[in-house]
Amino acid sequence: MRTPSELPSDLRWRPFSVDAGRASGVTDQRMRGRDLRRPHRAVRVPPGVFGGTSDRPGSDSGSDIGSDIGTGIGTGIDELLARCHAYATIMRSSQFFSHVTAARLWGLPVAPWSPGELLDVAEPAPLRAPRVTGVRGHQFEDVRVRVLERHGLRVADPVSTFLHLARAVDHGRLVAVGDHLVRVPRVADSDGLRPFCTRAELAARLDGHRGRGRRAAVLAVGRVRDGVDSPQETRLRLLLVDGGFPEPLTDVRVTDEAGGVVTWLDMFYPGLRLAVEYDGQQHRTSDRQFARDGERIEQLRGLDIGLVRVERTAMSGPGVAALRAVESRMREHGWPDRSAL
């Protein structure tokens, strides 16, 4: 089998359009080579750019599509970035990434990227939604959508993306995305983006929204809370409320007599002096975390605060095990039988 001829240096490490290939002197026969991937009809991707590996000298990352592509936006994101940059080579200037694709590019908590998944690409009316292999096209009439740059790509702004997700994800996931948007991290994110908005700004953006999914967005915005660190915490909070328990406070600061911060509680019932937390079970793989957790439990005990930790397995399915665990501890702390709620 003949070895394919080498591509020009400016095309060797990035996706390129067929037109760009021709302009650089690449023949049509070369662009039909089996070593080049074709995610879209008029796009070619050199070996090593897709799939999380790169043979480029000095490269140790699969995100080697351009210096503006960062890290820290989720496991398995490299191929998504490669796919988006591949489509960007033929993208019209009026188009932008939207919906689930935009959510992933902003690092919002949606389902992980799956190889072969369609890219969400939007076009404002009256232009028609794109019809391209590998793309799910959308047409928009919402003039308040802001198109921003993210990882060198044109992407719908995070708040508009939340509204677009209202018809693409379930209620719990949408609330988790809202919680993520308004979260002010105790330690700033590496990219410094959060909070993307406040709860008031999210609600205000919804006021003028008349698109499909509005009802789902209204219901979700009403349940968004400040200070939630993870989608698992969101799910646990919703599980408790939907299971008949009162809603706990979120992100509660615990101080000592001098006003110093002792710790933070993910969820707290102040009348019962009971904290509820999702247990990601990091302590099972880290001796340091195990010791730290033990010290924290002793701290809370000294402050007369009980703690119930709900493991991931207890939240599987309808979450009956989680509800029983919390109910048991609530009764210990003086809560009446659930039939009295």
Share of the chain above pLDDT 70, in %: 88
Q: Give the model's pLDDT for residue 71.
A: 30
Q: Give the model's pLDDT for residue 288.
A: 75
* 157-160 LR contacts (CB < 8 Å, sep 24+): 158/102, 158/106, 158/108, 158/196, 158/197, 159/196, 159/197, 159/201, 159/202, 159/205, 160/98, 160/205
Alpha carbon distance 121, 100 (integer Å): 10
Q: Give the model's pLDDT for residue 251.
A: 96
Q: Give the model's pLDDT for residue 135.
A: 95
Q: Give the model's pLDDT for residue 4.
A: 87
Question: Cβ(227)–Cβ(260) under 8 Å?
Answer: no
Q: How confident is the model at residue 245 (pLDDT cuts 50, 70, 90)?
A: very high
Mean pLDDT of the region 251-269: 90
Question: Cβ(103)–Cβ(180) under 8 Å?
Answer: no
Residue 3's contacts (CB-CB under 8 Å, 6 or more residues apart) are none
Q: Give the model's pLDDT for residue 229.
A: 94
Q: Give the model's pLDDT for residue 67.
A: 27
Question: What are the tens digits of pLDDT across the range 59-92?
Answer: 333 333 332 323 333 446 788 998 899 999 999 9
Q: Give the model's pLDDT for residue 126.
A: 93
- Whose structure tokens read 């719908």? 156
What's this model's pTM, rounded to 2 decimal places? 0.83
